[in-house]
Structure formats: C-alpha cells, structure tokens
A and B are shown apart, each in its own frame.
Chain A
Amino acid sequence: MSMTAPKRASNLFVGSPIERLEDLRFLTGRGQYVDDLAAENMLHAAILRSSVAHGRIRGVDSSAARARPGVHAVITAADIGKVPTIPLRHDPTPAIRRFEQPVIAHGKVRYVGEPIAVVLAESAALAEDALEAIAVDIEALPVVADRELARKNEIILFETVGTNVPDTITAVRGKADDAAFNSAPYRRREHFSVQRHAAVPMEPRGLLAEWDAQKERITVRGACKVPFTNRRALAQMMNLPEASVRMVEYDVGGGFGARGEFYPEDFLIPFAARLLGRPVKWTEDRRENLTALNHARDMECDLEIACARDGTLIALRAHACTDIGAYVRTNGATASRNIAQVLAGPYRIPHVRVDVSLVITNKTPVGTYRGPGRFESDFCRERLFDMAAADLGIDRVEFRRRNLIREADMPYALPKVQVLDIASECDSGDYQITLDRCLAEFKWAERAKLDGELIGGRHHGIAVGCYLEGGGTGPRENVRLAVEADGSISLFVGSSSVGQGVETVFAQIAADALEVPMERINRVLHGSTDYVAQGYGSFSSRSIVMGGNAIMDAAQKLRTLIREAAAKRLQCQANDIVIDRGMAVGPAPARAAIALKEFAGLCADGTFASDKRTYSYGAHAAYVAVDAKTGHVELIDYVAVEDVGRIVNPLTLHGQCIGAVVQGLGGAFLEHFIYDENGQLLTGSFADYLMPTASDFPQIRAVALEDKPSPLNPMGAKGAGEGGIIPVGGVVANAVAAALGSLGVEPRDLPLSPPRLWQMIQAARATGAAR
C-alpha cells in the first residue's frame, strides 16, 4: 500500500481557504434543523423528568393527564414492558456494563432529570401542560452528591450490584512503582480537580419519528454523530431488523461530543411513534437539556512525578477519580480511559502508571466533551510541571523542552490501557517545532520580563504548555462517489456533520482527487443511514482522516472506471486517458474529449480502514492580568499552535481552533454545574451556567502547521477540532499562578471564576503563603 501523499501540484482546493458551501443556507435562514420539521398528523411529546435525585418509585398515576384535552397517551415504564438499557458504544467492560441506563426510570430514579413518563398530545404546549397532572409517588432516598460519599459505599445506587465504583481503569508504561519514586532525586505529589461542565451545543436536541405500519419500518429524523451505531441499538431495542430502521440527519446545531449519542429519548420517541401509529416530534427545552444531555469533566486527581535534578522526568503515577453520574452512558467511560492513557501527555516518561476509578453519583450521567479526559489531564499535569520546575529552579520552557517526546522516538508507545487492552502510539511529529513557534508568536522572551509583575494594580503572568490530540479513530469509513446525469458528482459518506463544515472540506478533497472543478461536486450527502451501507460517523477528530481518505480511495476507483469507459469509446488504452477539468481526454494528436455526463451512472465505493490513531500536537501560551481585589482575570493574549499533518481548509481549521480555545476558557473560568447536597442542579439555566460571550476573550491567535504529515494515511492527515481545547485549563491556570506567585497562590482546582480565585487569594494571604 502506497502511503505517499498525492502530488500537491494537482491540489487546487485542498489547502485553500475555501468559503463554506453550508453558509449559503445558514446565513439566509434556510438551514433545516430537526425542530424545523413537521409531519402530517404529528403528535408532540413532552417528558416528565424526576425532580428527585435518588428515590424509589412507588407509583406513577397518569390517569388525570390522559384525561386532559388533546392528550393521546402517557407512556411509563409499565407500558414498555421489559425496559431496555442503552448499550455502551465504547469501553464495554462487563464491570461497567452493570451500570447501563434504562431508557425510562423503573423501580428507582437516580438523578434529577431522569425520564419517568412521556406525554403525547396534539401540541407541544398541551403535552407540557399535562406533565403536571401526572402524579408520581417517590420515596426519597439519601443522596450521593459527591465522590467521597460515593466511594464509602454506604448509600448504594444499584443495590443488586452493591458498589458505587463500576471499575478502575489502569494504564501502564514501564514500572512506576515505589522503587522508581524512592530512588528519584526529586518528587512532588499534588491533588487537583476539574469541575463538572459540559458541551452545551446551541441547538437543543430534537427527534421526529415516523412509523410505517405497512412496511414495519421506523424513520428517525434528527440523527447525528453516529447514526449507524444508533440504528443498531434502536433496532435491537425495538426488535426490528437493522434494515427497518432509517436514521436521517439534518442540520445539526453543534455537537462537541455530547449530541448524537444514544439517549433515553432516542428510544422513547420512536417507541411512541410505533405505539400510536402517528409521527411523534420532541424538542427539548434548555432546562431539560442541561440535566439530560451528557455532562463531563468532573474529576479529581492525585498526581505524583519523579525527576532527576536537571528536570528529566523519570516517573509519573496517579490515582484519578471521575464522577460519571448516575449511569454509564454510551461513552461514559471514555474520558476516564483517556485520562489513564494521556495523563503523561506529549512527554517522554519511562515509567507511568495511572489508575482511574469511575464512581457513580446521583447526578446527570457523563459522556465525552471535546478533548475528553485530555482537558482534565492537561490541567493536572501542566500545573504540576510548573510547580516542579519552580522547585528545581529550572525554566518552565526548558523543563518541557527537555522532556518532550523527540522525533527520533517515533512511533512512541503511550501507556497501555490494561483491562481494555488498548495500546496506542504517537505516529509522528516534532514537538519542539510547535513549542518554538508558539513561543515566537507569543514573544515569550519579551513578555517573560512582565511575569509576576504588579502593573497598574494587576498581577501579570504568562505560561506555556504542550499537548497531544488523538484523532483518526477507526475502524473504518465508507464513501460512494457517483456520476450524475448532468455530469456532476454526488458524494455519499458515513461521516456526520455536527456543524464543522464537512460538506465543504469533503467537496475540496473529492474535487482534487477527481481533478474536477469544485462546483462539480454537486452534493455531499452525509450521516444518514440511506447513503452508504455502513458508516461510522464523526467523533474523535476522525472525519477528515477516515472520511477524507475514504474519498481518496473512491475517487481513485471512479477515475479508473471513467478512464476504462472512455478508453473503450475512444478505442485506446485506459492509461492514455487523462481526466482534466471535468472531461476525459484521449491521447494525442486527436485529444478527443468526453464530458463527464457521458459517464452518468458510474459509481465507485471507497473505504479507509485503520486501527492506529493519528496524533496531532501543539503548544499554547497565555498572558493574563489578575485583579487580586476581585479575582477577575483578563486574558491579554493567547496563542495556539498546532500541527495537524495536513490542512484541508485553513479557514475552517482556524475556526475550529479558536472556537475550541474559547470553549476551554469557558471551562477554565466560567462554566460549572453546581449541585447541592440533595442532588439538585443549581446552575440549570443560561443565567446561571455561564458560557463565554463576545466580550470575554477578544484576543486569541491560532497558527496551524502541516510540517509532519501522518505516515498512517495517504492524505497525511492527523485530525483536528479538539486540539484547541485540550491545553487551555492548564495553560491559563499556570499563567494565573505565575501572576500571583508573589502571593503564593497555586490553583489546584478549576474553575478560576472570580469568587473562587478571590477565595484562593484570601486563603493564601491567611496562611502567609506569600513569598
């Protein structure tokens, strides 16, 4: 198999900042999101959710609700019969599977927001009105609202299982045992935590399900991210063949890991449509969304490193504990697994052992959020590195430079995840280049003079950190390219859109690979289960690596078919045919040209399979000014540099990076799902759950490189989209620590919201930590 990148000379579109095709409909109000749909004769669903965090359901009386005008049915667990649980999509160890979520609460409720009943009515308003008429009798049980209480196993959420700790995931490289630490000249151990926050895409979820009684077939509109996986899950739960389940993707208002996973509603709404024989539509409101959509990031970590006197890392060990909420959802263990594997980051550490214990609490279940486990890991590791560098009297930049994985070390094996038997290795790269570029763009040397200075009443500080982004997750992606009657090309792909611009970047790749003008790629049809026999979707920075390389494969095959067909007509050899500007051109001297439309009907299936991940990487730097009187942090400058192997569209890549950085800043400074001791969410609206706004972080710069293409795929792509968020928490916390060094403030917990930072400053003053 050839792994060399195609000649750039023929690339007119890949690498160019092409304006997006999607924008034309989005900017004019012609996008079509799932709540924009309506079906004849459709009913509307509203979901009654538990207001109790932990309790035993003694009874649900929906008779009064059923009697309400316009109400057609109320569905509870009793109407479903044997209540299915939602299968894990990732990391399905037997231990973890014991905590799968039932699609509707039965017997017990375990978090505020858990579905108890579904009302079907003539309008959404009537359905919502009827919710209050459902009488739910719940015997409240003591609540497990934090990790510490969970680990005591005094209050048990799943009595039949008997523990609140589903599993401990361990990753190992070398031997990070007591001997390694005891013999080390320097060691430091610290405790860190990252708060619960989440993806929170702007579009609330919705579904429109239609049951075709004659064909015994269900169509679910509003699918995204992994429609094929969800088709399999739904088919099993509804006892239908997969071929009888159609998942249709429309425009999707943001995903960031959370949207598109299989949630209880993904069963309940299709089930209701079949039961009632009418189309059923459901759209969540924001209040539901904030308790129903996956939460993320909630972890603490006891981390220890051992170094030589010159800062060379010898060993890293950690015990992290993740609060995964009340159930293990489809990818509820993924962030935990990632923490185990990437806590050591892009650094050469001979001995690593990371244990991550997952605990169950009475909170919304978690799932992946952009850079899952990586954001948390980087915060802990980069904080500890700055503390260690200061202890050792080594420059922070030098400490990192000395320990970064070198190009000569590639491929570099990451710690192996033991139970799941997941091995992975960094494929290629020169991590010094991105660090150097970041420092240069940031003007590090100049700004280092301001580090820790009190200027105009505010404390100034800078920091830099390095990271890895895992991309290109397998196993495969499939593509079909077809020549249409008008000579245009249709592209069908199993990748999904979550708003990242796949239609544009895939059209760029296909146009170059087929050597046709981009407008010839008439339609990019993605996501829906109608388009390819099997698709794998969009997550884990995989769309360009997997979908893009599958397009390359399909294009190669389609070109061969076109050349063979043209050769037959022109009575020459296929090798003599060239495809140029949308024409098949025969050999000299005649150079007879046949328009592509003459080949209408030809189509080619392409695929790309890989069991090895690609690793993008980079460095970020931040410059902050902290007002010690208020705890407010101004981000004066932020620079992000990444190497993604191959840049398809610099415009959209830049947008992905800046957007991800700002999300990360939200996680570092603002966003926090706060629960009280009764398991009630206190920040359940946009007035309480603060996300970044246009005036918060106006100065962010991003540079993307393609110096080191991946050797693992023909395009050399490594994936992008998550990298921007991964190092943010660690970098800004280190900048704040640098700024407040004179006060002895060492942030160990996110978020660094003004009141929390102010309290840290007060605490440091009270203990006389100032130096």
Chain B
Amino acid sequence: MPIEFEVNRKRVEVEVEPRMTLADCLRHHLRLTGTHVGCEHGVCGACTVLVDGAAVRSCLMLAVQAEGAKVVTVEGLSRDEGLTPLQASFRKHHALQCGFCTPGMITTAHALLSEEPNCDADRVREVLSGNLCRCTGYISIVEAVLDARTAYQRAGGGGNGA
C-alpha cells in the first residue's frame, strides 16, 4: 500500500507491504542504510530512529504506521561535511568501535539531550541501557554523551546540538 511521510526533512512516498517494518522500509526502499537492524525484536536498539521527535525502534514499528509522521535517521542528524558536536564527542571519547550500534546510540542520545540537556550520568546510563553495544563496554559512550551536553544546553535543548 502507498504511504507518505517525511524522512530527514524530505517528503517521501513509498509503496510497501503492510507487514514491512519501518526499519526495512528505510534501509531497503529508501536506501537509508545508516539505520541498522541488530535483533528484530526490539532489544538491541541499533535501529532506533526519531519519529516525531521520540526515539523509536524502527524494527518494532510498521512502515505504514509512519504515515504522516516526521522521521529522522542518523543520516538526518549528520552534516554534509564534518561532524556534529554529538558525533565529534563520540569520536573524541572513542565511543564506538565496529560502528554497528552507533546510529542507534546517536539517535537515542540526541533524543535524550534534546529533551534533557542537563541530564546526569545515571540518567544517561538509564536511557542508553536500552541500546546494546558489544565493543565499547559503554563507559566511553556515557562520557561522550555527557560531554555533548554543553552543545545542547547552548541550543536551549530542542536539538540543535546535532
């Protein structure tokens, strides 16, 4: 069936089967392969995208449910050149190794910092505990997110830190 929604500030129209997940639609129809699929049962968080500003597991959401929504993926949180403050903080703190969970970490952290730019370490750990990373042991990821808070505080929340 045809659906229409916004991805990374662009309107898209796609024809999908009703059973297709949003993750598969983004990856295989729209070729936005930055969103990764790690478990397909909503535990690992690699597929996290923003739907109307909220962090959502795109493997647990059907593409048809995105009708009319504003979807933002890791590509939409990136610039053409260089890194955003959040991404630069990840790089500085070596908060990624294989990079597979990274898009989900970025989208989740962006949603958190946009809402709560003053969150503390416990809050960061609590929110990130929904995203699995097998490489880093998380400590560097928590540090990266904490260090990126200033960018979001300056922006007064609302997401310009990305």
Q: Does A36 contact B (CB under 8 A)?
A: yes
* A123 CB to nearest B CB, Å: 9
Please determine whether A686 and B43 come into contact, CB atoms closer than 8 angstroms: yes
Choice from B44, B126, B137 contacting A700 with Cβ under 8 Å? B137
Please determine whether A253 and B100 come into contact, CB atoms closer than 8 angstroms: yes
Please determine whether A286 and B126 come into contact, CB atoms closer than 8 angstroms: no
**What 1/0 flags go to A646-673 for Cβ under 8 Å of B?**
0000011011101111110000000000
* B25 CB to nearest A CB, Å: 12
Choice from B36, B92, B100, B138 contacting A19 with Cβ under 8 Å? B92
- With A655-B140, A659-B135, A693-B132 known as contacts, the answer to whether A27 contacts B97 (CB < 8 A) is no
Q: Does B65 contact A (CB under 8 A)?
A: no
Q: Does B75 contact A (CB under 8 A)?
A: yes
Q: Does A201 contact B (CB under 8 A)?
A: yes
> What B residues does A444 contact at CB under 8 A?
none
**What 1/0 flags go to B42-59 for Cβ under 8 Å of A?**
011010000000000000
How many angstroms between the C-alpha atoms of A285 and B87 in the bound complex? 28
Q: Does B157 contact A (CB under 8 A)?
A: no
Please determine whether A33 and B138 come into contact, CB atoms closer than 8 angstroms: no
* A73 CB to nearest B CB, Å: 22
Q: Does B114 contact A (CB under 8 A)?
A: no
**What 1/0 flags go to A195-218 for Cβ under 8 Å of B?**
000001111100000000000000
Please determine whether B34 and A254 come into contact, CB atoms closer than 8 angstroms: no
> What A residues does B121 contact at CB under 8 A?
698
Name, among A33, A202, A698, A700, the residue most crowded by chain B CB atoms within 10 Å (CB to CB).
A202
Please determine whether B137 and A36 come into contact, CB atoms closer than 8 angstroms: no
> What B residues does A687 contact at CB under 8 A?
41, 43
Q: Does A691 contact B (CB under 8 A)?
A: yes
> What A residues does B90 contact at CB under 8 A?
23, 27
Choice from B35, B91, B134 contacting A201 with Cβ under 8 Å? B134
- With A499-B97, A655-B140, A658-B139 known as contacts, the answer to whether A29 contacts B74 (CB < 8 A) is yes
* B136 CB to nearest A CB, Å: 5
Please determine whether B134 and A202 come into contact, CB atoms closer than 8 angstroms: yes
Q: Does A242 contact B (CB under 8 A)?
A: no
Please determine whether A253 and B99 come into contact, CB atoms closer than 8 angstroms: yes
Q: Does B4 contact A (CB under 8 A)?
A: no
> What A residues does B75 contact at CB under 8 A?
28-30
Name, among B37, B41, B97, B142, the residue most crowded by chain A CB atoms within 10 Å (CB to CB).
B97
Please determine whether B134 and A254 come into contact, CB atoms closer than 8 angstroms: yes
> What A residues does B20 contact at CB under 8 A?
125
How many angstroms between the C-alpha atoms of A686 and B41 in the bound complex? 8
Please determine whether A32 and B97 come into contact, CB atoms closer than 8 angstroms: no
> What B residues does A658 contact at CB under 8 A?
136-137, 139-140
Name, among B35, B79, B83, the residue most crowded by chain A CB atoms within 10 Å (CB to CB).
B83
Q: Does A711 contact B (CB under 8 A)?
A: no
Q: Does B106 contact A (CB under 8 A)?
A: yes
Q: Does A3 contact B (CB under 8 A)?
A: no
Q: Does B61 contact A (CB under 8 A)?
A: no
Please determine whether A125 and B34 come into contact, CB atoms closer than 8 angstroms: no
Q: Does A587 contact B (CB under 8 A)?
A: no
How many chain A residues touch B (CB < 8 A): the figure is: 57
**What 1/0 flags go to A686-721 for Cβ under 8 Å of B?**
110001111111101000000000000000000000
Choice from A28, A203, A661 contacting B36 with Cβ under 8 Å? A203
Please determine whether B41 and A499 come into contact, CB atoms closer than 8 angstroms: no
Q: Does B12 contact A (CB under 8 A)?
A: no
Please determine whether B102 and A694 come into contact, CB atoms closer than 8 angstroms: no
The secondary-structure label for the interface of chain A is loop
> What B residues does A656 contact at CB under 8 A?
97
- With A24-B83, A652-B94, A685-B43 known as contacts, the answer to whether A662 contacts B35 (CB < 8 A) is no
How many chain B residues touch A (CB < 8 A): the figure is: 57
Please determine whether B38 and A202 come into contact, CB atoms closer than 8 angstroms: yes
> What A residues does B98 contact at CB under 8 A?
201-203, 251-254, 498-500
With both beta carbons as reference points, the residue of chain B lying nearest to A204 in the complex is identified as B38
Please determine whether B97 and A700 come into contact, CB atoms closer than 8 angstroms: no
> What A residues does B100 contact at CB under 8 A?
31, 33, 201-203, 253-254, 499
How many angstroms between the C-alpha atoms of A617 and B145 in the bound complex? 32
> What A residues does B137 contact at CB under 8 A?
658-663, 692, 697, 700
> What A residues does B117 contact at CB under 8 A?
none
Q: Does B96 contact A (CB under 8 A)?
A: yes
Please determine whether B136 and A202 come into contact, CB atoms closer than 8 angstroms: no
> What A residues does B140 contact at CB under 8 A?
655, 658
**What 1/0 flags go to A1-34 for Cβ under 8 Å of B?**
0000000000000000001101111111111110
Choice from B35, B129, B133 contacting A695 with Cβ under 8 Å? B129
Q: Does B70 contact A (CB under 8 A)?
A: no
Please determine whether A695 and B36 come into contact, CB atoms closer than 8 angstroms: no
> What A residues does B128 contact at CB under 8 A?
693-695
With both beta carbons as reference points, the residue of chain B lying nearest to A663 in the complex is identified as B134
* B142 CB to nearest A CB, Å: 6
Please determine whether B38 and A36 come into contact, CB atoms closer than 8 angstroms: no
- With A29-B33, A499-B99, A661-B137 known as contacts, the answer to whether A202 contacts B87 (CB < 8 A) is no
Q: Does B17 contact A (CB under 8 A)?
A: yes
* B81 CB to nearest A CB, Å: 10
* A610 CB to nearest B CB, Å: 26
Q: Does A501 contact B (CB under 8 A)?
A: yes
* A116 CB to nearest B CB, Å: 22
Q: Does B101 contact A (CB under 8 A)?
A: yes
How many angstroms between the C-alpha atoms of A659 and B94 in the bound complex? 11
**What 1/0 flags go to B102-141 for Cβ under 8 Å of A?**
1100100000000000000100111011111111111111
How many angstroms between the C-alpha atoms of A700 and B97 in the bound complex? 18
Among residues 60 to 86 in chain B, which have CB atoms less than 8 Å away from a CB atom of chain A? 73-75, 78-79, 83
How many angstroms between the C-alpha atoms of A658 and B133 in the bound complex? 12
Choice from A30, A500, A661 contacting B97 with Cβ under 8 Å? A500
* A661 CB to nearest B CB, Å: 6
- With A285-B40, A686-B39, A698-B139 known as contacts, the answer to whether A31 contacts B99 (CB < 8 A) is yes
Please determine whether A694 and B129 come into contact, CB atoms closer than 8 angstroms: yes
> What B residues does A204 contact at CB under 8 A?
37-38
Q: Does B19 contact A (CB under 8 A)?
A: yes
How many angstroms between the C-alpha atoms of A33 and B36 in the bound complex? 9
Q: Does B3 contact A (CB under 8 A)?
A: no
Q: What would be 27 A-B contacts, judged by CB atoms less than 8 Å apart?
A: A20-B94, A23-B99, A24-B83, A27-B74, A27-B106, A29-B33, A29-B35, A35-B27, A36-B33, A125-B17, A202-B101, A253-B38, A256-B134, A286-B39, A654-B94, A659-B134, A659-B136, A663-B137, A686-B43, A686-B44, A692-B138, A693-B132, A694-B125, A695-B126, A697-B137, A698-B138, A700-B139
Q: What are the 10 A-B residue pairs with the smallest beta carbon separation, nearest first? A: A29-B34, A499-B98, A26-B99, A253-B100, A662-B137, A686-B43, A36-B33, A29-B74, A28-B78, A694-B128
Further pairs besides A655-B94, A659-B135, A697-B138: 19, Cβ < 8 Å: A26-B96, A27-B83, A28-B75, A29-B33, A29-B74, A29-B78, A29-B103, A38-B28, A202-B46, A204-B38, A253-B100, A254-B97, A499-B98, A652-B97, A658-B136, A686-B132, A687-B41, A694-B131, A698-B121
